[in-house]
Chains A and B, each alone.
Chain A
Amino acid sequence: MKRHDVIVIGAGHNGLANAAFLAKSGLKVLVLEANPYIGGATVSRELYPHWTYSNCSYVCGLLRPEIYRSLELARHGLQIVPYGGGVTFTRDGDILGGYLDKEVKRREIARHSPRDADAYMRYSRDVMRQCRLIRTLLMRTPPDPSSLKWRDIREMIHLGGEFAKLGEAGIHDTMRFYMLSIADYLNEYFESDLVKATFAGSGIIGTALGVQSPGTAYVLLHHYMGDVDGQMGAWGFARGGMGAVSKALAAALQAHGGEIKVGAGVERVLVRRGRACGVALANGDEHRAHVIVSNVDPKRTFLKLFDASDLQPEVLRLARNFKIRGSSGKLNIALDGLPDFPALGAGNPLISGDMHFLDSLERYERAYDDWKNGTWSKDPYLDLLIPSVTDPSMAPPGKHMMSVFVQYVPPLVHGREWTDADREAFKQTVFDQIARYSPNFRSLVLHAEVRTPRELEAEVGLTEGNIFQGELTFDQLFFNRPFPGYAQYRGPVRGLYMCGSGTHPGGGVMAAPGANAAREILHDLRRESTVPEGWSDD
């Protein structure tokens, strides 16, 4: 039996960030990872010789720059390369290009609606206002509004102050923003269905909701609140694939003396006299520590890693009711060359951007209806990227790597497990969607990895294959994430903490949950915080 100060269960990016900040404070930290490799859903894998697959998360825009800098991730080899824009293809062979240059982008929108081209300015302003508000909350612990503790009251006052800065009209807009569906929100700005469809995607990625479901306007924000070098809302690639992020975090951890053990799946959190005191591994080994931190999603943490008798029934109820739905899948495709997208025209820079194929809100909503009916969308939403256009390290010269995020994909097909035939049919659905816009695409495919929620759960451990470790709806956000009363990273058992995306501020390769959890742990241990404060935008 070995002793550490802290054991972190799971070497996902949040677990690693959490461990790194704790190790930086001088604690003896051990990270236990079930897989033979680290990273969780932030990985680079070579599934086809010489091709790098970011086979889960695939872009990086939310990673907090405060953390990046504080853990010296650049020194540990991380490099984020911004990529260029995005495009929506229409069924009639046209496009709406989200060019990087803002005048070109404006002209492009004006081609479809002159009014919308101007309204886009208003839309950007309003979304940016919301981004600014939420960004002040990312590197903070949510207050418990039902608590009368000074820390919570102080935090509520801070929150009230941030709201007050918006002015009364701004507060109203914010309240509406959190309650509206992305479709209704976009209707207040735009007239062109294509323009709306172009912006709607960010409202549903990773979410088991349709564009008409209230609450999806917030999800959009979740995809806009990041930045690359101060360019708010920008996205980039981690050079060398997403694994580069976990590799750098691990290097930072190790530089501070932390240990990582792979192939060490935790089977149970050991509880003695109401206190988490260690973990038992699948192979029978036991590790002891005063602090146990779970990077595993809340549902799995409380329903699988704990003996039910160690938890209060209320916690079990909250965990069972936690919404963590599989709604997306992924195809990772090695290509023999760069596919043609005739609608783009040769030399269009958008080949390096996000490509989307739903040109109306109705198609989005119908895609969601398929999911509700227990099957994958027959006309799916794709977020297609060819990272090798930007990052030459992803594939051999002249060859390409394609990453296709697919929505909606159910965790079960009509209530039963996925079969091989289902997976094949699902793959063909996605191939058809791409081939409709890229005639030579199929002929270039060398290898395709098909990932349904099932694979994501089996491999990464995310319940139902939910990429955010829990739905991003208001009942599971901020002081409700993961559960009301447990939103401050402390678990229901003393000595247990949570640091995954299931905690505030939620999913995406942001590392803020891990960092925030570290701050709370250090606070409880009466140690000076090693976690940076959020940077001001004023």
Chain B
Amino acid sequence: MQAREHFRRAVCETPFHARTSALNQLNLWHRWRDHSVADAYFDVGMEYNAIRNSCAVFDLSPMTKHLITGPDALAYMNRLVTRDVAKIKPGRVGYCLWCDDAGQVVDDGTIFHLREGVYRLCSQERQLDWLLCSALGFDVKVVEETNEVAGLAVQGPTSCAVLKRFGLAGIETMTPFGLRTYPFENTELMVSRTGYTGDLGYELWINPDQALRLWDRLFTSGHDHGIRAIGTLALEMSRVEAGFIQAGVDFLPADRAVRVDRTRSPFELDLGRLVDFGKPNFTGRRALWAEKQRGSRYRLVRLDVEGNKPAKDAYIYDPQRKNIGVVTSSMWSPAAKASIALASVQMPWGKSGEELFAEIFYQKELKWNRFMARCRVIDTAFYDPARRRLTPAPDL
């Protein structure tokens, strides 16, 4: 097929498609940009429980990946993102944000420091234009490699055990945000202790040619540890429980914003800890410094919502019933047994422990009800199991 014939298939398949499609009993698919990924395979609740109870496998191949190399790679990365990349040593991964000149968040992602001076940046949105624009004046090479690296998230309490059984010797000694490579079928398997579930978990990265072998061996290894393929719906539940934000949901990427007042700064996403004014110049620095002096406009808060109704798209009110914000993500958390929500509220609202109200609409058997639910601002994740951080990782 000539290259230009690509239009005949609007959506591409990930390197794991042969397996994921065989397992997808519901035939529920979701379009993750260029690729089909499963929304759910057999039952969202059961899939969610695999994350919190055993071992869940999620196909994250469509994740955008860029490889950054060259003599100025570190200097470049440090100008790009708001945190100090010099502190991410080779073999480590770091969560980061990058901003536009106005200090508004363009995207969040993870930096994989593969080898001295070689970085992989994983992000939700495509960023080649922004990354190349930022490369002006730096001796670096930036290449998009989304389709050159297949990825699986392996998450849950038994994930370490599965990978051990798989043959990854010493995997339990890897600390969170660690990164290692293992030989696999004449190629290299990269494993990072990272994830989007807020649980013990790993991400596996491999050449797409070996993707199916990886899948098969992984599922064989995990057979006795409750391994399950999960879709985006279950993953979404765990990430809200963990209090992680998502581009396009909890904030609008600044480089996509048509309406300029809709974007958020790192401080406004409660990620001020990722802004390091002590390091060299970075994009957004001046604006963020000014914001720090002047104060922010918004705050992203975690809300513990009274009752058992999810506060979907709810307006948030202050005790005087003035509208001060809106819920960006919400759900009933099976782990916390609470209705939880992430919300963006106007400053100075949203201090820890503050009581606010969410206007919830819900229906039972087509009868719609509205009620003002009390919400409490909490400053920890809704669900944060100790195993997530333990090293050596628990081997259940």
A/B touching: CB–CB < 8 A: yes
In contact, B7 and A349 (Cβ under 8 angstroms): yes
Could you say which residues of chain B place their CB within 8 Å of the CB of A128? 258
Q: A316 at the A/B interface (Cβ < 8 Å)?
A: no
For residue B127, which residues in chain A have a CB less than 8 angstroms away from its CB?
118
Q: When A104-B6, A115-B132 are in contact, do A121 and B258 touch as well, CB less than 8 Å?
A: no
- A97 interface hit (Cβ, 8 Å): yes
* Contact of A103 with B10 at beta-carbon distance under 8 Å, contacts A94-B4, A97-B4 already known: yes
B128 contacts A125, CB within 8 Å? Answer: no
**A125/B255 in contact, CB under 8 A:** yes
Q: A103-B34, A118-B127, A122-B255 are in contact. Are A166 and B7 (CB under 8 A)?
A: no
B5 CB–A CB distance under 8 Å? yes
- The docked-state distance in angstroms from the alpha carbon of A99 to that of B260 is 28
Interface size (A, Cβ < 8 Å)? 32
Kindly state whether residue B126 has any CB partner on chain A within 8 Å: yes
Total A-B residue pairs with C-beta atoms closer than 8 Å? 67
Given A101-B10, A345-B5, A115 and B258 touching (CB < 8 A)? Answer: no
The B-contacting residues of A in range 104-126, CB under 8 angstroms, are: 104, 106-108, 111, 114-115, 117-119, 121-122, 125
The chain B residue sitting closest to A107, CB to CB, is B6
A378 to B11, CA, bound (A): 41
Q: Please tell me if the beta carbons of B256 and A108 are within 8 angstroms of each other in the complex.
A: no
B118-159 toward A: CB 8 Å interface, digit per residue (1/0)?
A: 000000001111101000000000001000000000000000
Q: Which residues of B contact A217 (CB under 8 A)?
A: none
| Nearest A residue to B128, CB-CB | A118
Let me know if B259 is at the binding interface, CB within 8 A. Answer: yes
Residues of B within 8 A of A104 (CB): 6-7, 10
**List of A residues within 8 angstroms of B381 by Cβ:** none
List B6-35 residues whose CB lies under 8 Å from chain A: 6-8, 10-11, 31, 33-34
Q: Does A169 contact B (CB under 8 A)?
A: yes
Known: A115-B132, A121-B255, A125-B258. A103 touches B4 (CB 8 A): no
Whether A165 touches B261, Cβ cut-off 8 Å, given contacts A103-B33, A107-B34, A108-B6, is yes
Q: Which residues of chain B are within 8 angstroms of A538 by Cβ–Cβ distance?
A: 259
- A103-B11, A348-B7 known; A118 and B260 CB under 8 Å? no
Q: Which of B3, B8, B31, B260 contacts A167 (CB 8 A)?
A: B260
- Asked whether B4 lies within 8 Å of A95 as measured between CB atoms, the reply is yes
| A132 and B258 contact, Cβ closer than 8 Å, known pairs A115-B129, A118-B127, A119-B129 | yes
Q: Which of chain A's residues 164-183 have a Cβ closer than 8 Å to chain B?
A: 165-167, 169-170
Interface residue B245 (Cβ < 8 Å from any Cβ of A): no
The answer, yes or no, to whether A129 is at the interface (CB within 8 Å) is yes
Minimal Cβ-Cβ distance residue in A for B2: A345
| Closest B residue to A103 using CB positions | B34
Contact of A121 with B102 at beta-carbon distance under 8 Å, contacts A97-B7, A345-B4 already known:
no
Q: How far is the CA of A269 from the CA of B3 in the complex (A)?
A: 62
User: Please, which residues of chain A bring their CB within 8 A of the CB of B11?
Assistant: 103
**B86 on the interface (CB 8 Å rule)?**
no
| Residue of B with least CB distance to A343 | B4
Q: Is there contact, CB below 8 Å, between B256 and A125?
A: yes
- Find A99's partner among B7, B34, B130, B256 (CB 8 Å cutoff): B7
Give A228 to B9 CA distance when docked, in angstroms.
26
Looking at B101, B127, B129, B261, the one whose CB has the most chain A CB atoms below 10 A away is B129
User: For A95, what are the chain B residues with a Cβ–Cβ distance below 8 Å?
Assistant: 4
Does the CB pair A166–B260 fall under 8 Å? yes
B257 on interface, CB distance cutoff 8 Å:
yes
- The distance from the CB of A90 to the nearest CB of chain B, in whole angstroms, is 11
Query: Contacts A104-B10, A167-B260: A111 and B5 contacting too (C-beta < 8 A)?
Result: no
* Measured CA separation A345–B4 after assembly (Å): 9
**In the assembled complex, how far is the CB of residue B99 from the closest CB belonging to chain A, in whole angstroms?**
14
Known: A132-B258, A167-B260, A169-B102. A114 touches B4 (CB 8 A): no
- Rounded to whole Å, the gap between the CB of B362 and the closest CB of chain A is 27
On whether the beta carbons of B260 and A170 are closer than 8 Å, the reply is: yes
Set of chain A residues within 8 Å of B33, measured between Cβ atoms:
103
Residues in A with CB closer than 8 Å to B2 are: 345
| Closest CB in chain B relative to A31 CB, distance in Å | 39
Chain A's nearest CB lies how many Å from the CB of B102? 7
Give every chain A residue within 8 A of B102 (Cβ-Cβ). Answer: 169
Q: Which of A67-108 contact B (CB under 8 A)?
A: 94-95, 97, 99, 101, 103-104, 106-108
Q: How far is the CA of A169 from the CA of B104 in the complex (A)?
A: 13
Q: What's the Cα separation between A117 and B34 when bound, in Å?
A: 13
B167-186 vs A, Cβ < 8 Å mask (1 yes, 0 no)? 00000000000000000000
A167 to B257, CA, bound (A): 13
Q: Tell me whether A121 and B132 are in contact (CB under 8 A).
A: no
**B128:A114 contact, CB within 8 angstroms:** yes
Compute how far the CA of A348 lies from the CA of B5 in the bound complex, rounded to whole angstroms.
Answer: 9
Which chain B residues in 250-280 approach chain A with CB under 8 Å?
255-261
- Please, what's the 1-or-0 string for B320-350, where 1 marks a CB less than 8 Å from any CB in chain A? 0000000000000000000000000000000
> Inside 8 A of B257's CB, which chain A residues have their CB?
125
CB contacts under 8 Å to A, within B283-298, are: none
A94 CB contacts on chain B under 8 angstroms: 4
Bound-complex Cα distance A104 to B132 (A): 22
CB closest residue in chain B, given A116:
B129
- A121 near B256 with CB under 8 A, answer yes
Check A118–B256 contact: CB distance below 8 A. Answer: no
Distance of B127 from chain A, by nearest CB (Å): 7
Distance in Å: Cβ of B124 to nearest Cβ of chain A:
13
Contacts of B130 in A (CB 8 A): 118
With a cutoff of 8 Å between Cβ atoms, the chain A residues found around residue B259 in the complex are: 132, 538
Which residues A221-247 have CB closer than 8 A to chain B? none
A129 / chain B contacts, CB cutoff of 8 Å: 258, 260
Interface core residue of A118, A122, A169 (most chain B CB under 10 Å):
A118
Contact with B along A350-375 (1 / 0, CB 8 A): 00000000000000000000000000
Task: State how many angstroms separate the Cβ of B164 from the closest Cβ of chain A.
Answer: 39
Complex CA gap A166/B3 in Å reads 41
Name the residue of chain B whose CB is nearest to the CB of A119: B129
Residue among A117, A121, A122, A125 with max Cβ neighbours from chain B (10 Å): A121
- Residue B4 contacts which of A106, A111, A119, A165 (CB distance < 8 angstroms)? A111
Contacts of B144 in A (CB 8 A): 114
Which residue on chain B has the smallest CB distance to residue A127?
B258
**B258 and A108 within 8 A (CB):** no
Residue among A95, A107, A167, A349 with the most chain B CB within 10 A? Answer: A107
Chain B nearest Cβ from A107, distance in angstroms: 6
B126 touches A121 (CB 8 A): yes
Given contacts A170-B260, A538-B259, contact A108 B7 (CB under 8 A): yes
Distance of A436 from chain B, by nearest CB (Å): 18
CA A165 – CA B259 in complex, angstroms?
A: 9
Query: How many angstroms from the CA of A94 to the CA of B3 in the assembled complex?
Result: 10
Q: How far is the CB of B353 from chain A (nearest CB, A)?
A: 34
A210 vs B5: C-alpha distance in the bound complex, in angstroms? 33
How near does chain A come to B291, taking the closest CB pair, in angstroms?
A: 15
Q: What's the Cα separation between A122 and B2 when bound, in Å?
A: 29
Cα-based distance from A129 to B7 in the complex (angstroms):
29
A166, B6: Cα distance in complex, Å: 38
Nearest Cβ on chain A to B61's Cβ, whole angstroms: 15
A166 to B259, CA, bound (A): 8
A121 touches B6 (CB 8 A): no
Q: Is the CB of A118 within 8 A of B126?
A: yes
| In the complex, chain B residues whose CB is within 8 Å of the CB of A132 | 258-259
Closest 6 CB pairs of A and B: A118-B129, A118-B128, A119-B129, A128-B258, A167-B260, A101-B10
| Chain B residues at the A interface, C-beta cutoff of 8 Å | 2-8, 10-11, 31, 33-34, 101-102, 126-130, 132, 144, 255-261
Q: A95-B4, A119-B129 are in contact. List 4 more A-B contacts (CB 8 A).
A: A99-B7, A118-B126, A166-B260, A169-B102
For this complex, 16 residue pairs linking A to B, each with C-beta atoms less than 8 Å apart, are A95-B4, A97-B4, A103-B11, A106-B34, A111-B6, A114-B144, A117-B126, A119-B129, A121-B256, A122-B255, A125-B255, A125-B257, A132-B259, A169-B101, A345-B5, A349-B7
